[in-house]
Structure 1
Amino acid sequence: MATITRTALRVAVGIAATAATALSLTACGGSGGEPGGEGDGTFTILQYENPETAQGQGWQLALEIFKKKHPDVKVDFQTTSFDAMRQNAKITLTGDDVPDVIEFNKGNADGGQLAGQGLLAPLTEQVKKYGWDEKVKGSMQAFAQYDEQGLAGSGDWYGVPNIGEYVMFYYNKDLFAQAGITEEPTTLEEFEAAMDKLLAIGVTPISSSASTSQGFNQMWVWYSLVAAEADRTAIDDFMFLREPVDFSKDPWKAGADRFQEWIDKGYVGEQLGGLNFEQATVNFLSGEKAMLIWNQGEFFRIREQATFDWDYFTLPGANMQMGSSGHLWGVPANAKNKELAYDWIDITLSEEVQNKIGQLGGLPLAGDASTIEDDLTREYTERFNELVEADTLAFYPDYPVPGFLDFIQSHMQAMSNRNETADEYTEELQKFYDEGREAALAG
């Protein structure tokens, strides 16, 4: 990894910035378009990226390009939150007063339901016309396609991702040095030994969170430990409902048992039930916690705000790493400006926008990593490309069945509060997953 000392501003930015500018999902306004086009009035874009992230800045560039290309179109660029979009998507996409293009969450539990219920327009024809399948390749296509039952991995395209994602451990090199950790660990055993050294000097190794509202960190720790012991078949059976999954066996048992050990040893801290991922990030940036498990979403922010020397590594010694394609652009079935929506999606996949996202560490799917000037950012992007090429991304655990994210987060909180054991969790996990799988396969 590159060694770069970063001096950054101490400013409180994050999800609050997005919330401050958020607009009601139901207040999308009338859709419209260019004179003589499909609609008449306003072209509405609904998305939920923080404007300070690499992706959020990429969208702003795309917006500039779009407005220059369509000077007569009034554009309403709306920002909501991830949770609000998930909870209100069906209402937002029902009826005639809908956005023209939306960002939505991938997976059977979210995008699959919207596609299966006819709320999204199929994009297969446009994918071929614009050549999007030449830019979004391999496993990055898996959650863009859904069959008639709304199951991912095959069927028509209903969404188009622009970026990739993978989860890593950002770490404070100063705290590592204070603990006598001189090299990045290369195995899980070395990683745990490093965390023991951090605990010995009174430093919490991993800044985490377990709130049932956006307390994603603990879920990512647990699933990363599962993925560490998994192979492609085990992940795909779970993710795409291909074969029944026995959660009492490895890699599920091994991952849950190790996760409980990490909680008991104090690797992830205490009193996590009330913390969300934003607070976990702030705690890491404060210099109090040694590591933060997160994906590329905080890369630019950490690069700008960290007042200490930092770097990152993926989970040492793991067979698979958490990661996937990014969230999807989709076109509501009732959108009045579909042609403009297709053009918007195409612009977000353009070389100019993709390379802008890449420069900021956003992992573009159609960018050129060699154009990235910053060494750390380029290496970070190249690492993602390696994982895609090796087909070792394990996706995210909440995708397979409806309600899974809320279910998992609730149990992550219970385990983190030591109100539930690994065995109790996996037993409940088996029941919830099997019921959801049965319902999904029944259509």
Structure 2
Amino acid sequence: MTRKTLRTYAAAAAAASVAAIALSACAGPGGGENSGETFTILQYENPDTAQGQGWQRALELFQEKHPDVEVDFQTTSFDAMRQNAKILLSGNDVPDVLEFNKGNADGGQLAAQGLLDPLTEQVEQFGWDEKVTGSMASFARYDENGNAGSGDWYGIPNIGEYVMFYYNKEIFEDAGITELPTTLDEFEVVMDKLLAAGHTPISSSASSSQGFNQMWVWYSLVSAMSDRQQIDDFMFLTGETDFTAGPWAAGTEKFQEWIDKGYVGENLAGLSFEQATVNFLQGDAAMLIWNNGEFARISQDAQFEWDYFTMPGANLTMGSSGHLWGVPAKADNKDLAYDWIEITLSPEVQNLIGNKGGLPIAGDPATIEDERIQAFTERFVELSEADEMSFYPDYPVPGFLDFIQGQMQAMSNGNQDAAGYLDELQTFYDDGKAAQVGD
């Protein structure tokens, strides 16, 4: 493995700089033939995460299998990939396999525009549909309009995700909290106690770029009050979604209350999710809302006793499959790309991810040695088997993530209220839905 270098994709022009880790390897028996070009992997997982550590092991296994293949393993950011994927994949210098965001707004658009190769044949050949099943497969398939849930496979997830509240046990004890809440009302009592003891309850963020925490607080409240059909109608553009009534109105009004009461802190407009995580790790807030992506980091960096719980009393919990591996239509080394995906789904890589707290889709929970990680994984299995995951709110229509984040920032600043947000949400969603399904 060579030292880290920096490289910028020519096809993306001034799009994001990516940190490239050049790995020399090459091709052994049973591997696909190299076309003469470097086999390029583009992804955006932090190397300290469970997935990032899994990819490093996958690279080692790939190199062992293909000792004559030169591998260029590149790391970009989630935002850079989301914003520049169309430019990148339309050019002539594309990666051979890449990680991309699921959902109609991102992956669906790439599929509908012919920028990704369908993988249905490979799914059948490798048996990936035996590992990626149920709701975990919902955003791996897209129809001709880029709508999720049916049509060809275009991406393969490796992990699942669900959103929880990590909490600082020492702060909870300082505030006199001896039992975890089991209902939403009890949760609010807990946060009132934290405020009274001088602690910010939830570390959050509302930057219009990567300020995801407020969006997750909001959608967790909506999900807590929703049923399966209401979320599926919203997510898959079926039925009618009235944002001024039902769980949408109730959850958004509750979110407004939480902002006004100080449950999520102050001065959030300039904060990113990274800053929210740092604030939690520094003990500046009692809880952090995030998914399993920070489990390994908190395990390693927290200097206090901690644990986690999902939204108390919730009907549904934010969560879904993880991001997807896909193969660009213009990729030069597609057979190697399929082999890379197969390796990332191998028991060795999946169980490594599982032992780091990464919620592998095809892992064996029985191989997990740490009791807390095993319980964490079992909770994921419970949510999956009960079909109680509400996915993520930015999936249904193009531009939704930027729109929602802008509205979250405005609400957190006091420049927007619940009613105004819901009105604008209705308009944006309806316009996007009409464009997607032709209404």
Question: TM-score, length-normalised on structure 1?
Answer: 0.93
Partner-residue secondary structure (3-state), 1:246? coil
Q: 1:402 and 2:398 equivalent?
A: yes
| 1:38 Cα deviation after fit | 5.7
Q: 148, 156, 169: which is aligned to 1:173?
A: 169
Write the distance in 2 (CA, Å) between the matches of 1:193 and 1:339.
Answer: 56
Could you tell me which amino acid in structure 2 is paired with residue 293 of structure 1?
I
Supply the distance in 1 between the matched residues of 2:117 and 2:32 (Cα, whole angstroms): 22
Aligned residue number for residue 212 of structure 1: 208
Q: In the alignment, which residue of structure 1 is the partner of 2:330?
A: 334
Cα distance, 1:84 vs. partner?
0.5
Q: Which residue of 105, 130, 134 maps to 1:134?
A: 130
Equivalence for 1:145: 141
Can you list the C-alpha shifts for 1:124-163, whole angstroms capped at 9, x where unaligned? 0000100100111100000000000110000000000000
Write the distance in 1 (CA, Å) between the matches of 2:231 and 2:296: 30
Distance of 2:33 and 2:367 partners within structure 1 = 38
Q: Who is 1:40 aligned against?
A: 36
Q: What is the CA–CA distance in structure 1 between the aligned matches of 2:277 and 2:71, rounded to whole Å? A: 33
Letter in 1 for 2:36: D
1:202 alignment counterpart:
198
Query: Which amino acid counterpart does residue 368 of structure 1 have in structure 2?
Result: D
Give the match's secondary structure for 2:220.
helix
Specify the alignment match of 1:86 in structure 2.
82
State how far apart, in whole Å, the 2-side matches of 1:319 and 1:249 are: 17
Q: Does 1:186 align with 2:188?
A: no
Q: CA 1:57–1:381 in 2, change beyond 3 Å: closer, same or farther?
A: same
Residue by residue over 1:83-120, the C-alpha shift from the partner in whole angstroms, topping out at 9 and shown as x without a partner, is 00011101111133211000000000000000000000
The 3-state SS of whatever aligns with 1:251 is helix
**Residue 33 of structure 1: how far off its partner (Å):** 8.7
Deviation at 1:172, TM superposition (A): 0.3
**1:317 Cα deviation (Å)?**
0.1
Q: Alpha carbons of 1:287 and 1:254: their partners in 2 closer, same or farther (altered >3 Å)? A: same
For 2:427 and 2:357, the matched residues in 1 are separated by 39
1:244 has 2:240 as partner: yes
- Secondary structure of 1:304's aligned partner: helix
**1:442, distance to aligned residue in structure 2 (A):** 1.9
Q: Which has the higher contact order (CA 8 A, sep 6+)?
A: 1
Superposed CA deviations along residues 328-380 of structure 1, whole A, max 9, x for unmatched, are: 00000111110000000000000000000000000000000111000000000
Query: Of residues 82, 101, 106 in structure 1, which corresponds to 2:97?
Result: 101
Q: Which residue of 2 aligns with 1:431?
A: 427
CA distance in 1, matches of 2:179, 2:58: 41
Equivalent in 405, 410, 416 of residue 420 of structure 1? 416
Q: State the 1:26 CA deviation.
A: 3.5
Displacement, 1:184? 0.7
Q: Which residue of 1 aligns with 2:258?
A: 262
SS at match of 1:332: coil
Q: CA deviation at 1:288?
A: 1.6
Aligned equivalents of 2:384 and 2:217: distance in 1?
21
Contact persistence 1:38–1:338 (CA under 8 A): no
**Does 2:360 match 1:364?**
yes
**How far apart, CA to CA, are the structure 1 residues paired with 2:366 and 2:183?**
29
- Cα shift at 1:27: 6.5
Deviation at 1:243, TM superposition (A): 1.2
Structure 2 residue identity aligned to 1:167: V
- Residue 373 of structure 1 aligns with an amino acid whose one-letter code is E
2:8 counterpart residue number: 24
Change (3 A) 1:358 1:383: same
Instruction: Report the aligned-residue RMSD.
Output: 1.6
Distance in 1, matches of 2:116 and 2:37, equals 21
Q: Is 1:163 aligned to 2:147, yes or no?
A: no
2:384 to 373, 384, 388: 388
Partner secondary structure for residue 93 of structure 1: helix
What one-letter code is carried by the residue in structure 2 that aligns with 1:374? D
Deviations 1:231-289 (A, max 9, x none): 11000000000112100011100000000000000000000000000000000000120
Structure 1, unpaired ranges of 5+: 1-19
Q: Find the counterpart in structure 1 of residue 117 from structure 2.
A: 121
Shift of 1:24: 2.4
One-letter identity of the residue aligned with 2:8: S
Note closer, same or farther for the CA distance 1:22–1:438 as it changes in structure 2 (3 Å cut).
Answer: farther
Letter in 2 for 1:178: D
Aligned to 1:346: 342
Kindly state the Cα deviation for residue 22 of structure 1 after the two structures are TM-superposed: 6.2
Assess, with a 3 A threshold, how the Cα gap between structure 1 residues 296 and 304 changes in structure 2: closer, same or farther. same
